[in-house]
Homo-oligomer: A and B are copies of this chain.
């Protein structure tokens, strides 16, 4: 499926086609043509489109396979950019990744996604349809930046979500840490690292567009690109900071857990240590020697009890002063 949006300051058309031929026949040089292509279903289209727009062979490969990190490449006929759209599942704290590829020509923009419905581009489509803001007046390069912008705005959202989660975890760990927090920290760390990996090359690619994007990106659009660049940098710095905090949090958690454990072991060992000598004394007077003079004395039993009390008190005080419990 191809969603085809054609617009000019005074013109707007939005159609959904299933065959590229009909779309290609309606392309209009005097308007901006946005082809939003679903690559989930069928690949034969791609070849047809690739031929029409002169897409390089390696580029088709980049669009269809998703292992690539974000990258941009400037060809004679168009500019190619691929980046990662991140979607957060707030329940499982997992981030799902979808690749978006964009081909920007003079008056057209091709976007390749895996799923067209319910995506983050709806906001831009709405603005085009209702001629809100600057988008209908501006060129295809502005649309291109705008779409990158909404993708990057989602990164900010994910950053904030992670930050909140880590703030919560920090409070728990400084309060009453539990074993399960280890797993939560480990999972968050993995997600933060994954997201960071997708964002890292993006800043360099956006910077490259600013310096080498000519003639596909017009000078007037640079301010928007610079803005996106700043956002990406901020998100990346934020993610790095979260990564460091998670590392510290893990260390703190281990330290707190080990402290709790130590306190328990110390108390229990103190109890054991106080009773050991007393039990020994009781054992002594439980022996069956015929000649044990103390056993015959009427004061023997209470004297021993007093002695035991004294030993227990003495040991307790000594340990107390040594701050052992």
Contacts and interface: CB of A to CB of B under 8 A. Distances in A.
A277 interface: yes
Given A193-B244, A223-B58, A234 B271 contact: no
A269 B275 contact: no
A225 to B, nearest CB: 10
Interface stretch (A17-25, A27-35, A102-110, A296-304): A296-304
A287 B289 contact: no
B285 A285 contact: no
Interface residues on A, range: 35 or more
Interface string A77-100: 000000000000000000000000
Interface stretch (A6-14, A37-45, A46-54, A247-255): A247-255
Contact of A298 (B58, B68, B230, B291): B291
Interface of A: 56-58, 61-62, 67-69, 71, 73, 134, 156, 170, 174, 179, 182-183, 186, 189-190, 193-194, 197, 200-201, 223-224, 226-227, 230, 233-234, 237, 241, 244-245, 248, 250-252, 254-259, 261-262, 264-266, 268-273, 275-280, 282-292, 294-298, 300-301, 304-305, 322, 324
20 contacts: A56-B223, A58-B227, A61-B227, A67-B234, A69-B237, A174-B183, A179-B259, A182-B255, A197-B241, A201-B233, A201-B237, A258-B258, A261-B266, A264-B269, A264-B322, A265-B266, A280-B282, A282-B284, A288-B295, A290-B295
